[in-house]
Amino acid sequence: MMLVTFKRRDLYLLLLLAAGLVLLFEYGKLTPNRGALLLTLVFWSGLAQGCLALAAAAELTRARWIASLRRELLCVHPLLLVLALLFLCLAPRLDLYPWHEKPGPWLNGPFFLVRNLLLLLAVWWTGRRFALSAAARAEPCQRDAVLFLFAFVACQSLLAFDLVMSLAYPWMSSLLGAYFFVEALYAGVALAALLFFVLGGGKQRQAPEVIGAHHRDVARLLFGFSVLWGGLFFAQFLLLWYGNLPEETGFIVARLQSAGLRNLALLVILACFVAPFIGLMARRVKERPALVALVALAVLAGLFGERLFFILPEAPLHLGVTLFQNLVLGMGWLVLVHGQGEVLPEAVGGEG
């Protein structure tokens, strides 16, 4: 098969084109739509940031499996800038938020846009710095990794509180910030499992037996994060049930009254906890890249469904527009993976 070679300028032009297509379908009056861009931003910010956060955590812990997928996880950093620019284009959609008509000191349009944009840019800048240094050096770049992880946790927590929780204002959830950055890491692990299956875990850089060992490590991580996700889910449920706090229960009750959202919630639990927990319990399954990739796809679909559960019905959206926007950003990410040599420097001293 003949592969197209991209130069750095071409890569950034394609990313800008992808952003333009996303905005065209959001604001082009082709279909009645209001919440697709919000859903796309919330999902892809977690996915893209989670890839880099997973790589940063692996560097800090000196995990060996990162050697097979380091460049594939690091090359996503230009997408973080695209997401920051797309967030700025969310300004006409602020009327989705109930506080828009009665702004306060914290929840008001200008401050909302500025603080989230600054954090998204901080994540892009620290992520780019970490990605370039990690790709160029064989030794872990701990300072850059720590800086990015701080920005990542702060950004995901604020996106959870501002973009999602304030949609149902005055709904409150003290666990939502932790929930979001753990899920971003979970999405990064699922994407790493998919990369092992699709790309073979960097066959050009590692021996087959090494790739197999690294793949099993990622499968164990996927299993472990399913347990962590289940624990956070149960902690939230226990808080709602035991405390019976009206400011927290109202959000859940409003959604569970709809049969469609009840079914969606059940599918999210099956995809994010039941499927990986049961499916990856056997050692033989962890050694089968295709089966692990299937579980990873279920996890990503479950995380996307959970974002739907959070955002509906406050932000109605058009399914076709939503799928198109996510497909465009997915193609942009694939282009980055293919053209990683243009956005990442060559390693000095070989892959670690």
Q: Let me know if residue 348 belongs to a domain.
A: no
Rounded mean pLDDT of 84-113? 91
How many domains is the chain built from?
Answer: 1
Overall pTM surpassing 0.85 (yes/no): yes
Q: Let me know if residue 98 belongs to a domain.
A: yes
Q: Let me know if residue 3 belongs to a domain.
A: no
Tell me the two tokens of residue 64. 């060996």
Compute CA distances 8 → 62, 78, 123, 292, 342, whole Å. Answer: 30, 11, 21, 33, 5
Q: How confident is the model at residue 199 (pLDDT cuts 50, 70, 90)?
A: confident
Q: Let me know if residue 140 belongs to a domain.
A: yes
Can you tell me the distance from the alpha carbon of 73 to that of 75, in angstroms, rounded to the nearest whole number? 6
Q: Let me know if residue 57 belongs to a domain.
A: yes
Upper half-sphere CA count for residue 168 (Cβ side, 13 Å) = 21
Tell me the two tokens of residue 12. 């950034």
Can you tell me the distance from the alpha carbon of 112 to that of 171, in angstroms, rounded to the nearest whole number? 17
DSSP for 169-191?
A: TT---TTHHHHHHHHHHHHHHHH
Alpha helices in the chain (DSSP H): 8-27, 36-60, 66-74, 77-88, 109-136, 142-159, 176-199, 208-243, 246-256, 259-269, 275-279, 283-286, 289-311, 319-338, 340-343
Structural contact between residues 137 and 348, judged by C-beta atoms closer than 8 angstroms: yes
How do residues 73-84 score in pLDDT, each as one tens digit?
999 999 999 999
Tell me the two tokens of residue 221. 């991580």
Match 């720590």 to its residue by tokens.
146
User: Of all residues in the chain, what percent carry a pLDDT higher than 70?
Assistant: 90
Q: Let me know if residue 349 belongs to a domain.
A: no
Tell me the two tokens of residue 132. 């370039």
User: Angle CA(164)–CA(169)–CA(170) in degrees, nearest 5?
Assistant: 130
Q: Let me know if residue 146 belongs to a domain.
A: yes
Q: Let me know if residue 1 belongs to a domain.
A: no
Can you tell me the distance from the alpha carbon of 134 to that of 76, in angstroms, rounded to the nearest whole number? 13
Rounded mean pLDDT of 83-112? 91
- Parent domain of 24: 8-343
Can you tell me the distance from the alpha carbon of 181 to that of 185, in angstroms, rounded to the nearest whole number? 6
Q: How confident is the model at residue 341 (pLDDT cuts 50, 70, 90)?
A: low
Of residues 3 and 346, the one with the higher pLDDT is 346
